[in-house]
Structures are given as structure tokens and as C-alpha cells.
Amino acid sequence: MNITQLLFWVLTVIAIGSALMIVTSKNPVYSVLGLIVTFFAISGHYILMNAQFLAIVNIIVYAGAIMVLFLFVIMLMNLSKATETLKNKWLQIVGAIAGSCLFLVLIAALKNTEVKQNLVEMGTGDIGLVKSLGRELFTTFVIPFEISSVLFLSAMIGSVVIGKKE
């Protein structure tokens, strides 16, 4: 087992463990922390695959901006207490079963595919670097890129309008 594989497994365990923490923890603040850890683990995976740009963006945008937003909301509204009412046990079990069914079905489907042994390039390859992605982004995808700025603008206006007190 070389160092790449070792790192893969470590990151995988961290990701899944913290993901489970999101779902199971009673306190929303722990859930947020779990999600941040998951994002960091996923960013680690990106780095393993030499997708440096996405790894950085993921940390800045998700773990940084978005999760801070979540934390702000939780703390500002003082939701950190376990306010969740007692919910229907049956519905929880059914939900869990449904989710695992989905997982099993997709895994079972994976068994029949031919691509499953294809290798993923680890550690090398420069497509994930800022230079190549940037060139591609500002040539081929320049219009979607510009439109996404419009999307941001409208999201901004929208959140301001919604969040404004009457």
C-alpha cells in the first residue's frame, strides 16, 4: 500500500465518518462542523487527484463562505439547542431503509458495468491546474461564466429582498 492509497483510505474514512455525524448529531452546530470536515476531506481527495484549483475553491467557497453562513444563521437564531421535536420513529426507519435501498441498488448496478476497473489518474496530470482550467474557462465556457455572474447578482438581490424585515 503506497502513500497515495493510504491517504485515500484515510480521507475516505474521515469523509464518511463526518458525513454520518451530520446526519446523527442532535446539535446543529456539530452537524455544521461535520459538514466542514467532510468538505475538507473531499478537498483532500481533489488534491490526491491533482485537481488543485477545485480543492482550493472548495475550501474557500464551501468550507469558508457557505459554512460560515450556516453557522451565522444557526447562531444568530440561537438554534444550537436541540430543538427538534420528537419525530415519528417509523418514518425515520423507513427513510433510512429507503436511502440504503438507493445505495444498494446503485452499487448493484455498478457491479455490472465495464468501466469499473478503469484507473483514475492520481497525483499527476495538469488538467486540474489553474492554468489549463482558466484557459478553458475563458475561451469555451466564457458565456456560462458571464451568465453565472448574473445568477449571483439575482441571488444576492433575492436574498436581500427575502431577508428584509417588513
Partner 1 sequence: MPINYYITLALCLFAIGVVGVLTRRNAIIVFMCVELMLNSVNLLLVAFSKMHHIAKGAAATAGTDGQLFVFFIMVVAAAEVSVGLAIIVMMYRNVHSININFLNRLKH
Partner 2 sequence: MNNVLDIVYWIPLLPLLGCIINGLGRKSLSKGAIGVIGSGVILASFVLSLWAFFQVRAGNVHTAEYFPFINVGNLKIPFAFQIDQLSAIWLLVITGVGFLIHVYSTSYMHDEKPEHFGRYFAYLNLFVFSMLLLVMGANFVIMFIGWEGVGLCSYLLIGFWFKKKEYSKAANKAFIMNRIGDLAFLIALFMLINKLGTTTFSEIFTSASLAKLSGREITVITLLLFVGATGKSAQIPLYTWLPDAMAGPTPVSALIHAATMVTAGIYMIARANLLFSMAPATLNVIAIIGIATALLAATIALKQNDIKKVLAYSTVSQLGYMFLALGSGAYVAAVFHVMTHAFFKALLFLGSGSVIHAMGGEQDMRRMGGLSKYMKVTNITFLLGCLAIAGIPGFSGFFSKDEILAGAFAKSPVLYALGLLGALLTAFYMFRLYATTFKGNFRGTQEQEHHLHESPAAITVPLIVLAILSVVGGFVGVPGFIAQGAHALSDFLKPVFKDSYALLPAHEVSHSMEWTLAGVSSLLVIVVVVIAWSRFAKKPDLQPATGLGKVLENKWYVDELYDTIIVRPLNALGSFLSNVVDRKVVDGVVNGVGRLVSYGGRQLRWLQSGQTGSYILMMVLGMVLIFIVQFFLRK
Binding site for partner 2 (CB under 8 A): 91, 94-95, 98-99, 101-102, 105-106, 108-109, 112
> If binding is defined by CB under 8 A, does position 115 make contact with partner 1?
yes
Set of cell numbers at residue 128: 486540474
Residue type, 6: L
150: Cα separation from own chain's centroid: 23
With CB under 8 A as the contact rule, the residue among 3, 118, 143, 146 that binds partner 1 is 118
Tell me, what DSSP letter sits at residue 127?
T
Q: Which residues contact 120 (CB under 8 A, 6 or more apart)?
A: 49
Task: Indicate whether 14 belongs to the interface with partner 1 (CB under 8 A).
Answer: no
How near is the Cβ of 56 to partner 1 at its closest, in Å? 11
Candidate residues 10, 23, 75, 142; the one interacting with partner 1 per rule CB under 8 A: 23
| Cβ 121 vs Cβ 50: under 8 Å | yes
CB of 25 to partner 1, least distance (A): 9
68 is an interface residue for partner 1 by CB under 8 A: no
Q: How far apart are CA 34 and CA 61, in angstroms?
A: 16
Q: Which is nearer to partner 2, 107 or 161 (CB)?
A: 107
Identify what 141 binds: partner 2, partner 1, none; CB under 5 to 8 Å per kind.
Answer: partner 1
Q: Does 127 bind partner 1 (CB under 8 A)?
A: yes
- Figure out which of the listed residues 1, 87, 90, 143 binds partner 1, where binding follows CB under 8 A: 87
In Å, how far are 14, 62, 95, 105 from 108, measured between CA atoms?
24, 31, 20, 5
What gap in Å lies between CA 140 and CA 143, rounded to an integer? Answer: 8
Q: Indicate which of partner 1, partner 2, none lies near residue 53 (CB less than 5 to 8 Å, by partner kind).
A: partner 1
Query: Which one, of 12, 56, 54, lies nearest residue 37 by Cα?
Result: 12
